[in-house]
Amino acid sequence: MEETPPPQGAFTHSPQARVAVRLRRMKQVRSLGYGLALFALILVQIPVAVVAIVGVLMSTVLGMVFLFEPSMRLIRFLAGIDRKLMHRWVGVEIPVPYRPRPPAPVRGRDGYFHHKGKRYRTALSPKIDIMLVWAISDPATWRELIWVIIDPWTRTVLALGPSYVIGWGIWRTVTEGQYWGLALAVAAFFAAPVALKIYALYALGLLGPTANAHLVGQVNRLNQVRADQVDLQAAELRRIERDLHDGAQARMVAVGMTIGAAEQLLDDDPAAAKALLVKARESSATALHELRQLVRGIHPPVLAERGLADAIRALALDSPLKVKVHTDLRERPESPVESAVYFAVSELLANASRYASRVTIDLSRRGRALRVTVTDDGPGGAKAVPGGGLAGLERRLAAFDGVLALSSPPGAGTTATIEVLDALGTAEEGVPVNAMPSGWRGVLYGACWALCWLPLIPQGLVATFMLIFQSSERSWFLALYMPDPFKWPTVAFMIALGATMLATGIRLAPAPGRNPGVC
């Protein structure tokens, strides 16, 4: 039976539509609340920033170098708060860009600390010098120093701006009857999430890692992964050698000795020789079974023949638990990835068999990532500890850019999620990875990065100082030529424009390892 389409606007007052409208309104309200909270943090940020900047100046101008590293710790503390808030409130993750912390000085055999050709009785002076070099040589140090200077103004405009415009528009409407103020307040209300997102992207530009820092981090991570894999392979070879020596090899030696004894008894006692040959045949069958188990532990035949999904189904059939497997995979990842994920699921099932009775395994594709979720109904409370099985899984998966996320609240079961990036499919052929944007995107990208400093610093921040100190020199600063009621709005607009251009440049920049033409 054919259904008659509902009249236009019939869904306007449906429960689903009302819920959606409420959620959108809540988003605006939350953004305004987050903006006010960010602005309130300025009360803490400014005093701490002043103390840190004074410490930096005293360490560089007066030679009090021991103050530099504590001062930068204060700035990094403020930056860390901003990173957490942007990730929690806006969903923009700002990775930590710092270089690895240098190791502490070690006492030599002669009882002294050796540093730069000199000997020290205590580790204080070498440690201060090492930490100073570490902080000064890190580009993130100077970018955060710039951030802590300009952030109060940028934060005031982008975080407090929508709330201020709403209040100012309503006040003009109520006191002077100018209804354009009400329209301005409504526009600011709906623009609040956009302003907050622009601030988050601006913070990402100054507090996130640069391309060089990202590459250095990748190299360090790859070196660590390579070292871990060498250790894992050595441990795996030792395990195989131990299993062969203690299992199949010992049984084959016993089979040889049993056959030798049967040869000696063959003429004198044929019945005893026959019994020994039967025992040798059973031992050889047992040794063959152990060899098959060993080979299956290295690379299961079902995995090579039928793929990851069917291999996990076979694991589920062999498990003593009630296991359900859901999958929507239509293509196979590479063999090493399949093997790593298979053994990870096998170990998770083995862990679950100790405490749980039911397990659900879900294999799915997320873009080009392979995701496997293993959920059990156990008592929960599981966690990865150094040297444990879960920590070993994390090390195995790290070789393929994979991660293991564990959620195990006490009394609520355990959910382990395995995600391997770029396991299903590769970048488009003929399109270079990390290529710069082309066409109008390339023009906009270049213009934003080349010109964002102009409205943000001279026309925004410098003009702010000139207005505060009532400078008579107007030079080329646009805000100083405006009528008095429009000077501060012009400064605010310039700061917002500069931050928007910086955020747009960050948004258009190609992420490392990603094709910029593919969204």
Q: Looking at the structure, do residues 255 and 289 belong to the same domain, yes or no?
A: yes
Q: Looking at the structure, do residues 67 and 182 belong to the same domain, yes or no?
A: yes
Domain count, the chain: 4
Helix (H) or strand (E) holding 323: strand 322-327
> Token pair of 241, please?
């050698």
Q: Cβ distance 59 to 74 under 8 Å?
A: no
Distance CA 265, CA 512 (A): 74
* pLDDT at residue 489, as a whole number: 82
Q: Looking at the structure, do residues 149 and 43 belong to the same domain, yes or no?
A: yes
Q: Looking at the structure, do residues 376 and 456 belong to the same domain, yes or no?
A: no
Q: Looking at the structure, do residues 84 and 146 belong to the same domain, yes or no?
A: yes
- Kindly report the CATH number assigned to the domain that includes residue 229: 1.20.5
341-362 burial, b at 16+ Cβ within 10 Å, e below that, comes to bbbbbbbbbebbbeebeebbbe
Residue 368 lies in a domain: yes
Res 12 pLDDT > 60:
no
Domain end position, chosen among 157, 174, 209: 209
Average pLDDT value for the chain: 78
Domain end position, chosen among 231, 266, 298: 298
pLDDT digits (tens, 9 = 90+) for 18-59: 655 565 567 888 888 898 999 898 888 888 888 888 888 888
Taking each helix axis from N to C end, the angle separating 42-61 and 68-85, rounded to the nearest 10 degrees, works out to 150
Closest to 404 in 3D by CA, of 433, 379, 372: 372
Distance CA 82, CA 203 (A): 8
Q: Looking at the structure, do residues 180 and 324 belong to the same domain, yes or no?
A: no
Residue 6 lies in a domain: no
Residue-number span of the structural domain to which 365 is assigned: 306-420
Residue 215 lies in a domain: no
Distance CA 497, CA 500 (A): 5
Q: Cβ distance 371 to 357 under 8 Å?
A: no
Q: What count of Cα atoms within 13 Å lies in the side-chain half-sphere of residue 470?
A: 1
Q: Looking at the structure, do residues 398 and 333 belong to the same domain, yes or no?
A: yes
Q: Looking at the structure, do residues 331 and 450 belong to the same domain, yes or no?
A: no
Q: Place 472 in a pLDDT band, splitting at 50, 70 and 90.
A: confident
Those residues with Cβ within 8 angstroms of residue 323's Cβ, 6 or more apart along the chain or in another chain = 315, 316, 349, 358, 359, 360, 361
pLDDT digits (tens, 9 = 90+) for 45-98: 888 888 888 888 888 787 787 788 788 888 999 999 999 999 999 888 888 888
Mean local confidence (pLDDT), 493-510? 78
Q: Looking at the structure, do residues 293 and 311 belong to the same domain, yes or no?
A: no
Distance CA 321, CA 79 (A): 48
Closest to 100 in 3D by CA, of 138, 145, 74: 138
Residue 4 lies in a domain: no
Residue 117 lies in a domain: no
pLDDT digits (tens, 9 = 90+) for 220-279: 666 666 666 666 666 666 766 676 666 667 777 777 887 888 787 777 778 887 787 888
* pLDDT at residue 84, as a whole number: 92
Domain end position, chosen among 157, 176, 209: 209
Closest to 71 in 3D by CA, of 82, 87, 60, 84: 60
* pLDDT at residue 81, as a whole number: 92
Distance CA 310, CA 329 (A): 11
Q: Looking at the structure, do residues 199 and 256 belong to the same domain, yes or no?
A: no
pTM of the model: 0.58
Residue 189 lies in a domain: yes
Q: Looking at the structure, do residues 351 and 416 belong to the same domain, yes or no?
A: yes
- Kindly report the CATH number assigned to the domain that includes residue 343: 3.30.565.10
Q: Looking at the structure, do residues 327 and 452 belong to the same domain, yes or no?
A: no
Those residues with Cβ within 8 angstroms of residue 447's Cβ, 6 or more apart along the chain or in another chain = 501
Q: Cβ distance 283 to 250 under 8 Å?
A: no
DSSP per position, 355-379: T-SEEEEEEEEETTEEEEEEEE-S-
Closest to 362 in 3D by CA, of 338, 329, 321: 329
pLDDT digits (tens, 9 = 90+) for 193-220: 988 988 988 888 888 886 666 666 667 6
Residue 200 lies in a domain: yes
Residue 179 lies in a domain: yes
